[in-house]
Amino acid sequence: MKFNYLARTEKGGSQSGTIEAANRSAALDVLQDRGLLVLKLESSERAPFFAKEIKIFQRVKRRSVFIFFRQLAILIDADVSLVQSLRILGEQEDNPRFKEVILETADKIDGGASFSKALSNYPKLFSSFAVNLVKTGEVSGGLKESLEYLADHLEKEYYLISKVRGAMTYPAFILGAFVIAGILVMVMVIPNLTSVLMESGQELPWSTKLVIFSSDVLRNYGWLLFLLLVGFGVFIWKYNQGEEGKAQIDALKLKIPIFGKILKKTYLARLAENLSVLIKGGVS
């Protein structure tokens, strides 16, 4: 494989070029043997379309993140340098996306960036909470302790979210079953009953007329209702991207029956846990 690289020489100058090696790690070793400080290293070969990995299937799990911080703390406690520790963990990582992030972080640190600064380049993986806790550890000289606090916090948060999802799964399943059953009744059962009721010649109550009307709308314009629901979902998703929209939607979530109470307790538990970890980590 061929790799493009950008590096700093021993005299402080910059050097770029292409190197051929079996893999990224081998290319990095060759460049370091030449006395170069590697700033950037990436493959120059483009994979065919069918061989490209879809990033949506490379989502990094929360469990992988807290295990990463815990293993990093162990390596640092064993007097392994931060850059070497990151490269060891990066080579062992199975998730291609997370592997790339860890190795890029190691390269940035090797190029002179701080650990917290390197982590801040990946906000979707490492929250500002994690970055600031790591930064506190760097300043105070207790990086190992900060990483341990962070790993403990992320692990507790992971299991808390798992419990919340488990508690919400059953109500969501029941609600979904009711909706599906209601649609099936409206589309398949009500039309047959309607013909029987019409043949009787009796005046129907307004509630029955409303059900029949709803059934007709669902059968004749169901596709339009589906498109409207999809459009509404996209609008809510876009609106949730802004700060004001996110604040309003989050406030609305807390007012949802059953789910709102669960979310309130979850947020309070996370707030207390975050404060506890920050105080232990030396943040005033």
**What pLDDT, on the 0 to 100 scale, is given for residue 50?**
43
**What pLDDT, on the 0 to 100 scale, is given for residue 51?**
44
Q: Both tokens of residue 276?
A: 């506890």
**What pLDDT, on the 0 to 100 scale, is given for residue 281?**
63
Phi, psi of 85 (to 5 degrees): -60, -45
**What pLDDT, on the 0 to 100 scale, is given for residue 228?**
92
DSSP 251-282: HHHTTSTTHHHHHHHHHHHHHHHHHHHHHHTT
Domain residue ranges in the chain: 2-51, 57-157, 172-274
Q: Do domains 2-51 and 57-157 have the same CATH topology?
A: no
The distance from CA 206 to its chain's CA centroid, rounded to whole angstroms, is 49
CATH topology of domain 2-51: Ubiquitin-like (UB roll) (3.10.20)
Q: Both tokens of residue 111?
A: 């190029």
**What pLDDT, on the 0 to 100 scale, is given for residue 42?**
80
With 0-12 / 13-18 / 19 or more C-beta atoms within 10 angstroms meaning exposed / middle / buried, residue 54 is: exposed
**What pLDDT, on the 0 to 100 scale, is given for residue 58?**
62
The distance from CA 253 to its chain's CA centroid, rounded to whole angstroms, is 20
Q: What is the pLDDT along the chain (284 residues), one digit of tens a residue?
A: 788 888 878 777 778 888 887 777 778 888 888 888 777 788 776 555 444 444 545 688 889 999 999 999 999 999 899 999 998 998 888 888 898 899 889 888 888 889 999 999 998 899 888 898 888 888 888 888 889 988 988 898 888 888 878 877 888 889 899 989 988 888 888 888 887 777 777 777 888 888 888 888 888 888 888 899 999 989 988 888 887 888 888 888 888 877 778 778 877 877 887 777 777 766 66
CATH topology of domain 57-157: Receptor-associated Protein (1.20.81)
